[in-house]
Chain A
Amino acid sequence: MSTQKKPLPLIRKVAGGLFAAVALCAPSNGAWGQTEDKVRIDGSTTVGPITKAFAEYYMRQHPDVNITVSESGSGNGAKSLVNGTCDAAAMSRFMKPQEFSAAVDKGVMPVAHVVAIDGIAIVVHPSNPMANLTVSQVRDIYAGKITNWSQVGGPDKKIVAISRDSNSGTFECFNNLVMQKEKIAGSTEYVGSNGAARQRVQSTPGAVGYVGLGFLDRTVKALSVDNVHPDPDSVTSGRYPVARPLYLFTDGYPELGSHLHAFVTLHLSRKGQEIIESLGFVPVTHYK
C-alpha cells in the first residue's frame, strides 16, 4: 500500500518546531541557508515517483543542492506554486482556469513541462480470448451495464471488474478518460496498487482490470482499446485513448543554467528517459 499521508497539523507544528531548532543549530555558512541551492517540488502523487527519482539522481550528481519533494496532490501543488511555497508543481492534470487566473493575479505565470506520459492498459486474464474493447464498452463494464463477457463477444463468463482505489492517480486518470460522467458500479472490486491489480487479474479468469503501462508483463493480457494496442509508440503519438501527459509547472520558464532549469529538463536527457521507463511511465524522448 502506498498511501502518502500528510501528518496531522499538531504533529506538523511539533515537527516544524524541531526542524527549526535543528536548522538554528546548523552552521550558518552551510548549504542550509542558501536559497539558490534549494529546489522545492510539491504536487501529484502520480508524478511523485518521477520527481523523487529525479531528485535522488540530481542530488547525487550535485551534493550541494537540496531538493525537497512533497506529495500533496495536484490541486495542492498548484496552490503551492501560486503561493510561492514551491518552485515546481507536479500535476497529473492541466491547471484549471481558476487556478490559472489565481496565479496570474498573484503575478505567477505558470509554464507547463510535460515530463512523461501516463498510459493505462486494460488487462484481462491470459486465457480470455478477447482482444479488443471500445472505450464505451469498458465504461459500460465498469458502470455495471455489461456483466458478462458474452455481451461483448467473449465466452459466457461473469465479468469481475477490478479498479484501483480512488486514492490513486491511475484511478483518477481512468475515471476521467474512460468513465467520464458515469459512476463506477458498486460491485467493482478495489485494490491498493498496480501490482495488486495485476495479481488479481492474473489469478481470476473472469477479471478485467487496468494498470499503468509499465506494469504490463506476460502474466496478464493487455487489450487493444478502440483497436489501438497500448505501447509506447501509440501512447506518445496520441492514438491510444487512455493516456494523459504528466506535468511540472514552474513560474515562468526557469532561468537557464539554474538548478530548477536542470531539474525540469532532466526528463529530456537519456538518463531521465531511463528513470521514467524504469518507473513504468512512457517517456517523451526516444533515445535508443
Chain B
Amino acid sequence: MADTRFIIQRNSLIISARANRLRRLAALGGRGILLLITSSSALVILFIFYFIIKDALPFFQLRGLKEFFTSTAWYPSSSPASFGATSIFVGSGLVTLGAILVSVPLGVTAAVCLSDMLPFSLRQLVKPVIEMLAAIPSVAFGFFALVVFAPQLQERGGTILSVAWWMITAPVAFLMLWIVSSVLSSRLPERIRSMGRLGLAAALAAPTFWGIWFVGRSFHALEISSGANALNVSIILGIMALPTIVSVSEDALQSVGGELREGAYALGATRTETMLRIVIPAAKSGICAAIILGIMRAIGETMVVWMASGNAAQIPRPWFNVLEPVRTLTATIAGETGEADHVTGSARYHVLFAMALCLLVISYAFNYVSDRIVRRTSRIGRA
C-alpha cells in the first residue's frame, strides 16, 4: 500500500508544468464554485432582509411609528385608512403564549419519558410517530381546527374545558398534597408520623379538590359562542410545536450520557432524583433551545391561524380571554396581500412589509438566543 502511494506521489512530482497549472486552476475553480454556493445561501437571507426593509421603511415614512404600534384601529381598506397594529401584535403574542402553555409541559415531559422511562425498543417506535406530526402539512391542521375542533368547542366547549382542567390539576394536586403532607408531618414525632401524614393529606385534600371542582364547574358553565378563537389555535399550534420540542429536548437528554446517570445511581440517588437533580439540569440548555425552536414554529405559523383564529382585529377583554377571536401578524400578511397589491406603493401595501419586518426581527432575535444557548451547551459538553 505504502509503495503505491509513493509511486503516485512520484508521478505527481514529475508532472509537466502546464498540467500542474491546469490542476491548480481547476482546484481554484472548484473552491470558487463551492464558495459561491455557500455564500449564495447567505446572500438569500441578506436579500430577504434588504427587500423587506426596503418596502417596510416607506410605511413608517408615510404614517410614522406611533399609529402602528399604539393604536388598535385596523381598517386598512376604509378611507381614510387606519393601520393600528397593537391588537394584531397582542393576538400573535396571545396565541404564541397559549401554544407555549400547551406544548412545553407536554413536550418536555414526553421527552423525559422517551429518553429515560420507556424501554429502548418502545422508544424507537414512539419517537418517529411523534416526529411524524411535523410532516403533516399545516393546512391539514388548519382544516381540522376549523371543521372539526371549532364546532366541537362550540357544542361541548364547557365540558372539554372542565375535563382538561381536571386532567391538568388533579395529578398536580395529588403530587402537591403528598409533598406538603410529608414535609409537614416530618416534624411530628416518629410514632404518629404516618398516621399524621394521612390525616394531613385528607384534611388538605378536601378544600383543594373542592376548589378544583368549583373552578371546573364554572368552566363547565362557560358557553363558547365562536369556536374559531385563540384557544383553538393555541392548542393546534401547541400540537404543531410538539415534535420540535420533543425531538430536540430528547436529543439533549440523550446527550447527557450514561456515565452521569450511572454515577448518580451509584451514589444512591433514586430514579426521580437522578432525573430532576442531574439529567434535566445537565440538559437544561438543550431543552431551552428546543422550547425556543418550538416557539418560533408557533409564531411563524400562518395557515392554521388564518383559518381558525377568527381573524378579528381586537384585543380580547380581558387580554387573556382566549375564548375570543384574535388576529395575528402572519394571518394579516397572508390575508391582505392580494388586495394590497392593487395599489403598490400605498401605505396599505407597505404596512404588510412593516409587519413582516417585525416578524423577521422577532424570529431573528429568538434564533439568536437559541443559537447562543445551543453554543453554550456544546461548550459545556466538550469541557
Asked if A280 CB lies within 8 Å of chain B CBs, one says no
Q: Point out the residue from A6, A166, A175 that lies within 8 Å of B341, measured CB to CB.
A: A6
Which residues of A sit under 8 angstroms from B350, Cβ to Cβ?
A: none
Asked if A271 CB lies within 8 Å of chain B CBs, one says no
Asked if B108 CB lies within 8 Å of chain A CBs, one says no
Which residues of A sit under 8 angstroms from B327, Cβ to Cβ?
A: 190
Q: How large is the interface on A (under 10, 10 to 19, 20 to 34, 35 or more residues)?
A: 35 or more
User: In the complex, which of the residues B75, B312, B343 has the most CB atoms of chain A within 10 Å of its own CB atom?
Assistant: B312
Within the complex, the shortest CB–CB distance from B367 to chain A, in Å, comes to: 25
Q: How large is the interface on B (under 10, 10 to 19, 20 to 34, 35 or more residues)?
A: 35 or more
Asked if B310 CB lies within 8 Å of chain A CBs, one says yes
Complex formed: what's the CA distance from A123 to B51 in Å? Answer: 42
Complex formed: what's the CA distance from A181 to B312 in Å? Answer: 20
Q: Point out the residue from B74, B151, B310, B339 that lies within 8 Å of A189, measured CB to CB.
A: B310
Instruction: Name B306-322 residues within 8 Å CB distance of A.
Output: 306-307, 310-314
Instruction: Name A2-36 residues within 8 Å CB distance of B.
Output: 2-6, 8
Which residues of A sit under 8 angstroms from B334, Cβ to Cβ?
A: 1, 3
Asked if B185 CB lies within 8 Å of chain A CBs, one says no
Which residues of A sit under 8 angstroms from B146, Cβ to Cβ?
A: 196, 199-200
Cβ contact within 8 Å between B311 and A187: no
Which residues of A sit under 8 angstroms from B51, Cβ to Cβ?
A: 8
Given A160-B226, A167-B339, A203:B314 Cβ within 8 A: no
Cβ contact within 8 Å between A5 and B338: yes
Within the complex, the shortest CB–CB distance from B147 to chain A, in Å, comes to: 7
Given A5-B338, A167-B335, A183:B311 Cβ within 8 A: no
Asked if A242 CB lies within 8 Å of chain B CBs, one says no
Asked if A165 CB lies within 8 Å of chain B CBs, one says yes
Cβ contact within 8 Å between B314 and A186: yes
Which residues of B sit under 8 angstroms from A75, Cβ to Cβ?
A: 342-343
Within the complex, the shortest CB–CB distance from A201 to chain B, in Å, comes to: 11
Complex formed: what's the CA distance from A207 to B74 in Å? Answer: 22
Given A157-B225, A160-B226, A192:B306 Cβ within 8 A: yes
Asked if B109 CB lies within 8 Å of chain A CBs, one says no
Asked if A228 CB lies within 8 Å of chain B CBs, one says no
Asked if A232 CB lies within 8 Å of chain B CBs, one says no
Complex formed: what's the CA distance from A183 to B74 in Å? Answer: 10
Cβ contact within 8 Å between B335 and A4: no
User: Chain A's interface: helix, strand, loop or mixed, by majority?
Assistant: loop
Q: Point out the residue from B310, B311, B337, B338 that lies within 8 Å of A45, measured CB to CB.
A: B338
Asked if B228 CB lies within 8 Å of chain A CBs, one says yes
Asked if B301 CB lies within 8 Å of chain A CBs, one says no
Complex formed: what's the CA distance from A2 to B327 in Å? Answer: 19
Asked if A126 CB lies within 8 Å of chain B CBs, one says no
Which residues of B sit under 8 angstroms from A188, Cβ to Cβ?
A: 312
Asked if A130 CB lies within 8 Å of chain B CBs, one says no
Contact bitstring A122-158, B, C-beta under 8 A = 1, else 0: 0000000000000000000000000000000000011
Cβ contact within 8 Å between A165 and B335: yes
Asked if B76 CB lies within 8 Å of chain A CBs, one says yes
Complex formed: what's the CA distance from A75 to B74 in Å? Answer: 23
Asked if A101 CB lies within 8 Å of chain B CBs, one says no
Instruction: Name B92-126 residues within 8 Å CB distance of A.
Output: none
Which residues of B sit under 8 angstroms from A199, Cβ to Cβ?
A: 146-147
Cβ contact within 8 Å between B338 and A203: no
Asked if A265 CB lies within 8 Å of chain B CBs, one says no
Which residues of A sit under 8 angstroms from B227, Cβ to Cβ?
A: 203-204
Which residues of A sit under 8 angstroms from B154, Cβ to Cβ?
A: 203-205
Asked if A39 CB lies within 8 Å of chain B CBs, one says no
Q: Which residue of A lies closest to B229 (CB)?
A: A189
Which residues of B sit under 8 angstroms from A212, Cβ to Cβ?
A: none
Asked if B250 CB lies within 8 Å of chain A CBs, one says no
Within the complex, the shortest CB–CB distance from A222 to chain B, in Å, comes to: 21
Cβ contact within 8 Å between B325 and A189: yes
Complex formed: what's the CA distance from A252 to B93 in Å? Answer: 54
* B residues with CB within 8 A of A: 51, 72-78, 87, 146-147, 150-151, 154, 225-228, 306-307, 310-314, 324-325, 327, 334-339, 341-344
Some 11 contacts from A to B, beta carbons below 8 A apart, are A3-B338, A4-B338, A8-B51, A167-B339, A186-B74, A189-B226, A192-B335, A204-B225, A204-B226, A204-B227, A206-B225
5 A-B pairs with least C-beta separation: A186-B314, A73-B342, A3-B338, A190-B311, A189-B310
Given contacts A183-B78, A189-B226, 18 further A-B contacts (CB under 8 A): A1-B306, A3-B335, A73-B343, A165-B336, A166-B77, A167-B335, A172-B77, A183-B75, A184-B75, A186-B312, A186-B313, A190-B310, A192-B307, A199-B146, A203-B151, A203-B227, A204-B150, A204-B225
